[in-house]
Structure 1
């Protein structure tokens, strides 16, 4: 390496890390002058020419090796070793998981698989792992890619629900914990890139089928059509090559029917009684049977007519329908009308038991249905122009459509408070967080009528007998991407290549919700109802109740539908967000050495420019009312533009063949939640403040979203020291095509590793969801005020309660991971292995006007994962544990909105045993038995930092499945 090269490298290292001063650069120059002969810097010598030729050939080989595809692997150990190789060979800090064999990732779902990776955790919803937390940060701060293209979401936000992706589609999944400039669609905490099989990177045709039978430990809790406690999964994958290995096809199918049984409680809250003690104020209780049916289809076409051009087209379609039968009873207790309380046991200011009198219960027979479709198109065209230049053109389209139908049906002893029998209910707060109730009334068939037991609709004008209600939200989310990049390879110098590119993205997301009262014909207050007896709440002390089909009541005319524009929430809920993003990047890739220390990685910058616009609605005051059926909505809109500069650097120092130090520094961002960007406003006026000129106490005020929200920014620093144990590839088929592309083959084997890492994120512009900002209400003056009132108006300015970018803070953590094949300790333990990881996270978040720091939402202070496995002669067994401490998370609130609550942590276990026939007529066949949530972990949320103040309590039971897998030889 000549003097100029060493100077450039020293400057690059200094720019990346900010750790090298001028003196260091000078020292590096001096060293170069002392150790580099002058004739070695002259290209005219034959030795230099030969060196250049050798270097060019070496880098050409490395370019071939950088193609991403897995070696042919079989079994859990092979998956671990290939995942380790993916991690080891990456040019940034990543975690990875690889398929055990074609069409089979380890774990019961892709979300479950991701939750076992170091630094990651999952949140369970409806009995299934769904969203991912990276380094303690919630799903708002990470993004998901499929083959490098960003994905949309079926939720009303950006968070990707990973249970919408069949795990059988993916060859490997790489989680980027530190970004690179060429990573378009990167997240603040991390980026999950799911990669499907590339058919031309396989030597020969491959195919496999997997079939599973699934059941719950809890038998069906709630009766009704479309649900049960049994299910199945059937998937298959087929890969083939044609036309002398120049054209390849991958076809995948996945059919699933997954059951869940949910015991659910949702206490209303904890008011203070006459003695100053906290006591449960009411509770909504269900037994829920849930069934999610999914059909997924994958097709990949790959064309490589020569060594210079490859075109790959990926098409996926995923449709799932989820149905829930929810049967239960809602008990208004302390917050009920004219209810009396007799305290029992009181502990530290909290009423543990007692008796409520004069309780008017609401018997619930609810039905929920979700219908969603996810489409993806990804077309990648890679062209090698010559030995030095290559280019890539990619077009992608991702779309998600979701329609929810949430039906509530009420029955009781009579209409409104004061009519019909009331109940005397003893209650007990159990140590496990469950509320146990002992009512005296019979809530079975023949005792009840269809009605509005609590008079929930009586406040509307005109009066509504609300015997039921329908929420029907819809989301439509699409993202179109066009990206062009170029790469220049170098045959000498510290940089192996330079990349540059641009990407144009357009994203539209629309959220609408229809709300309908279900009333009784001709204004009746009650109607007779017949049904059957069921006991969905026997687990919490309640006997049988009336169960019926609410859909049949709509079909036969028992229910009349009464649409309302705005009922259950004050702010008009409909919104549309449009984002137009233009991203450019420049990245230098490093591949050199510093003396005896190898150095690789990259430095670069990404520039992201966004123009965002939001459309929503507000209530027209002149319509004669501001809620219910009287509300008239008028459109409002808003938006902003911003540009963010995102530098990044990743340096990997290889001290030996087995020891790497990885250092990363970057600026990253997380775009605002889309529901928080809503332009919708709930406007109100206070006549007593009419002449005031202070905007903080003016006539106008409102609540809503903020169309001018900017991204949350962070300066991210990561460091990881990794020692890799020796391994070999003797058990793998590193054949021609695959040996060029395989991470495992080119790394020389992977026998496990130990890693110590730390990370620090300095947060700024963090979004405060409960802030307030100044707003000009001039557009509302004419419709809200008479001419005389307009003369008295002191100011059109007022305060809007909504999200702003006024938070700042940090997240920091340390992590230890051990991936140890036990044969490294002694040959007697050959086949045994352990994977252990622990993560300690600390955070602080401060909002403007409040100096008291809080924990960052979604963050668990402690997370840990452990797996013990054994594999020998086709037999495999493993047990895994995932633990996370309490954290702020998201659950579904009223009208399908998302609300934050503290989620109680704990451990979940799963296990798997299998046997693969390696020889004879059954060769290729694998028998599998596995179970998940074997600890029967409870899902609990609570408030005010007090685990006794439970807000949601759920138990899902254990899930078992047995299956067969056959890989065609």
Structure 2
């Protein structure tokens, strides 16, 4: 039998990484416990590169890795920032913090994530994990599997990210305290927030009973501010003179505070060399809350000069809505696991792993409106004007008249200035009044919306049980066999809720109460001056707002409430081989997984009933039984895998991998729920009742829903890589990869998406038409609709029977071609005088195409990463830059639903300078490490640009600075 030969200069780092990452193979166990291995301590970034390189070199798969020399020693505030610098990976900011991670162009929803080998759940809308949820203080590292083998249970088409916490009996004893003072380079524009935060953590590893019991505990608490300036528009339209101008404005100053408490505890018991028991617990409790404050309003312009996007002019009839949106996001994640490993003899061992995870989250956003007066109260000559400049970067205001009330709490009215109450149509009787508007008509439900309370509750549970046997084989080629079975039971729930808010002063309006007011918020950066800052939750809490359940008024909320259940059984087997070919060592593995899935979704179809309420024909506040929907299916997959590593010369490897992988469909796309909506626009109601007319002009009817029958996304993957290791911390690698996407989810289109809303075949022939609600009596004779159909006064216009049904289905295909270039270069290989200097760089190029022309979420065509460092005798300087081109992503849209967005390319730069007093002559300083870190140093914005190249959304975050004190008592 041929033994795998490790890179001799890195024997220590292989042993260290084996201990740090607690691998399950017998080879790793033996390496970790080999007393003959020389121990050399290399710390800081150079030590991290050595350990990561050793993991990469010794793996049978194509992997990347990050590691710390000890618990609590990763340099970043969260594991997300560390992951974003790795080759083939790209970070995505959420609220100014790196949170999402794409692997080889696939967003985290299509990447498997595990914690110590177990599937990890998040607290988001879908399967993707929010990596910034995990503080670096509890992590010892991570391994990213770009190719897979049959024993890797958590997989994704993009790859697998395995996060690692410490195993106390494989780590050195330590007691470490970490403190961080954080300050944002951007002051808060909102008076009730500031720009300062902190992090504190305590971690220790102890061993007892002659090193048979180990305990590792890490506790971390965080308060991190985030201040951003958001510029946005509803969209752009071109006027008759060729100028592009906004159709509506959406500009705010946003301040939030992340508060996170994390507890990680690991208890390890190894009474004999044959038995190893590990119990681990993780509890993360977090809140990310604050306020969004600014203007939202339609935009009307006059006196415009210039053409294209370069124009100046005046906004007329300005009747802004000052939106104060209190934000409150609270969640928690708990994981409890047990791992028992027993060596049956010198060659065979068995492992049982059981884990239970649970997460909950409430994402709440209130809306409180203020303005000059209630909608319908003012004449046009009582409204304001603004002067503006329009360019490729959007619209900026240079002056205004008639809008002074927005800085005066005594003049500003707590009311809805715009006619946004259309959603209250079903409650029209509640808002009837004898009070007349200046035009002589009474106020109605259209004038009655003064705010909105919008929130979604999420809950997810995951139970996994895995049993595995592993044994050494005596043979000339095959060296080890691994086989096992894994059971996974997942439950996920989303409840979409909302409440329309109306002031108890309706139809009158009142000034903002003085006890609500914090002061003034700054919108001068957008040319919009100072505005009143008040507590947006106060009118909800003190009864000023009367609330009406939007779930009974808006069918899309009930149609976005659902449960998903999945039971998955995976049986797997893998054989490792180890031989020679023309004096070249050949290692690798071949294996297969058989995956059986049973999936089910429970939900609702949101329909407006004859009483104009949604699924509440009995007016009892309960969802009608007829609206309940339950659908499911079962299926199986066979997933083969092959990994081959050929050492063509000393420390030079050619690797090849071929495998089939799956990523399960997005949770929100698998829901059984759906909803039917109807647009009350007379121009749509009067479209002729023919299929051809609907195909040409559209329809007031629409239906949208998920599909519980969706199969997983599926790909055949091929990888070819060359890796040349020339130093402990130096290597060069080039990787080619190809992914044949044989199944991808697509949205319905064409004739298949047209249904009859008088006889819906997708819902047992349901007829959704309600006389008096969906038809319209014509008031004035004339031509109506895009087909110019003539109606006499008194005629009854009825809508066409047909409309669109948007749903998700299998069958889309595509391909992904990629090239990765990676180099870690220590400069001492060129000259001794350059010892301590080095760079780590990577470039990834991706060409991806789906057959319908759509993009893959998370895919940037180009991703670059460069880290330059100097590390010597405890002193360390690191400068890192990452760059990614434009990419498609998901974001929370209106009514708590997921929508797509295209982000512009972004280049992020961060830096760190630190000193470790480990070699100090002063004993009590020897455990101290001080560092100063800056992120987003070039003040990079996040932008979304439309098809005309004009900015539709811009978020400005500013840089952040962190001063860190890390002290290890031993």
Fold conserved between structures, TM > 0.5:
yes
Structure-2 change in CA distance of 1:724 and 1:278 (3 Å): same
> CA shift at 1:700, angstroms?
8.9
Is the Cα contact below 8 Å between 1:778 and 1:796 reproduced in 2? no
Distance 1:454 1:665 in 2: 59
> What is the CA-CA distance between 1:492 and the residue it aligns to?
2.2
The 5 A counterparts of 1:782-931 are 800-847=805-852, 853-917=853-917, 918-919=919-920, 920-921=922-923, 922-931=925-934
Please name the residue that 1:518 is paired with.
501
Aligned 8 A contact 2:267 2:279 in 1: yes
**Aligned: 1:776 with 2:742:** no
Distance in 1 (alpha carbons) for counterparts of 2:135 and 2:348 = 37
Contact 1:690 1:699 in 2 (8 A): no
User: Mapping of 1:408-419 within 5 angstroms?
Assistant: 408-417=367-376, 419=378
CA shift in 2, pair 1:716/1:913, >3 Å: same
Is structure 2 residue 170 aligned with structure 1 residue 195? no
2:387 is matched with 426
**What is residue 10 of structure 2 aligned with on the other side?**
none
CA distance in 2, matches of 1:797, 1:642: 34
Deviates more, 1:114-123 or 1:236-245: 236-245
Of stretches 892-901 and 690-699 in structure 1, the one that deviates more from structure 2 is 690-699
Q: Determine if contact 1:811/1:843 at 8 Å carries over to the other structure.
A: yes
Distance 1:570 1:417, change over 3 A: farther
Deviation at 1:524?
2.9
Q: Which residue of 1 aligns with 2:797?
A: none
SS at match of 2:236: coil
Q: Normalising by the residue count of structure 1, what TM-score does the alignment of the two structures yield?
A: 0.85
Instruction: Give the Cα–Cα distance (whole angstroms) in 1 for the partners of residues 400 and 384 of structure 2.
Output: 7
* Partner in structure 1 of residue 520 of structure 2: 534
Match of 1:234 in 2: 200
Deviation, 1:355, is 2.0
SS in 1 for 2:479: strand
Q: 1:622 aligns with which of 589, 605, 609?
A: 609
What's the CA shift string for 1:51-106, capped at 9, x where partnerless? xxxxxxxx976652278999865211111111111111111000000015431213
2:318 is matched with which residue: 316, 334, 359?
A: 359
- Counterpart position of 2:182: 214
CA 1:77/1:433 → structure 2, altered by over 3 Å: closer, same or farther?
A: farther
| Residues 438/65 of structure 1: CA separation in 2 closer, same or farther (3 Å cut) | farther
Q: Confirm whether residue 767 of structure 1 aligns to residue 768 of structure 2.
A: no
For residue 263 of structure 1, what is the aligned residue in structure 2? 229
Gaps of 5+ in 1: 6-58, 334-338, 727-749, 790-794, 848-852
Report Cα offsets for 1:456-511 as digits up to 9, x if no partner: 11552314411111012110011110111111211322111111111111110000
1:554 aligns with 2:513: no
- Distance of aligned partners of 1:800 and 1:163 in 2 relative to their CA distance in 1, 3 Å threshold: same
What is the DSSP-based 3-state SS (H/G/I as helix, E as strand, rest coil) of the residue aligned with 1:399? Answer: strand
Match for residue 644 of structure 2?
651
Specify whether residues 483 and 457 from structure 1 end up closer, same or farther in structure 2 by C-alpha distance, changes over 3 A only. same
Q: Secondary structure at the match of 1:112?
A: helix
1:253 to 219, 223, 226: 219
Q: CA deviation at 1:831?
A: 0.6
Partners of 1:589 and 1:694 in 2: how far apart? 63
2:487 matches 1:504: yes
Residue 141 of structure 1 is matched in structure 2 by 110
**Are the equivalent residues in 1 in contact too, given 2:555–2:675 (CA < 8 A)?**
no
Q: Give me the TM-score of the superposition, normalised by structure 2.
A: 0.85
Structure 1 690/545 Cα, relative in aligned 2: closer, same or farther at 3 Å?
closer
- Give 1:276 deviation, angstroms: 4.8
Are residue 290 (structure 1) and residue 264 (structure 2) matched? no
Kept in 2, the 8 Å contact 1:452–1:525? The answer is: no
Structure 2 CA distance, aligned partners of 1:699 and 1:228?
47
1:221-620 paired onto structure 2 within 5 Å:
221-224=189-192, 227-333=193-299, 339-347=300-308, 350=309, 352-417=311-376, 419=378, 421-430=382-391, 432=393, 435-436=396-397, 438-440=399-401, 441-442=403-404, 443-445=406-408, 446-458=410-422, 460-461=424-425, 462=428, 463=431, 464=445, 465-521=448-504, 523-530=506-513, 531=517, 533-567=519-553, 570=556, 572-620=559-607
Report the CA distance shift for 1:751/1:621 in structure 2 as closer, same or farther (over 3 A).
closer
Contact 1:341–1:356 (Cα < 8 Å) also in 2: yes
- CA–CA separation in structure 2 for the residues paired with 1:60 and 1:101: 23
Q: After TM superposition, give the deviation of residue 590 of structure 1 in Å.
A: 1.6
Shift of 1:213: 0.3
Q: Could you report, residue by residue, the CA deviation over 1:571-600 in whole angstroms, capped at 9, with x for unpaired residues?
A: 622111111111111111122222311111
Q: Distance in 2 between matches of 1:197 and 1:151?
A: 17
Give 1:417 shift.
4.5
Tell me how far apart the structure 2 counterparts of residues 377 and 303 of structure 1 sit (CA, whole Å).
Answer: 16
Question: What's the counterpart of residue 940 of structure 2?
Answer: 937
Q: Secondary structure at the match of 1:371?
A: strand
- How many angstroms does 1:886 deviate by? 1.0
Could you say what the CA RMSD is over the residues aligned between the two structures, in angstroms?
3.0
Q: Is the 8 A contact 2:275 2:342 kept in 1?
A: yes
Q: Which residue of 2 aligns with 1:635?
A: 628
Question: Within 2, Cα distance between the matches of 1:328 and 1:674?
Answer: 33
- TM-aligned CA distance change 1:803 to 1:438, over 3 Å: farther
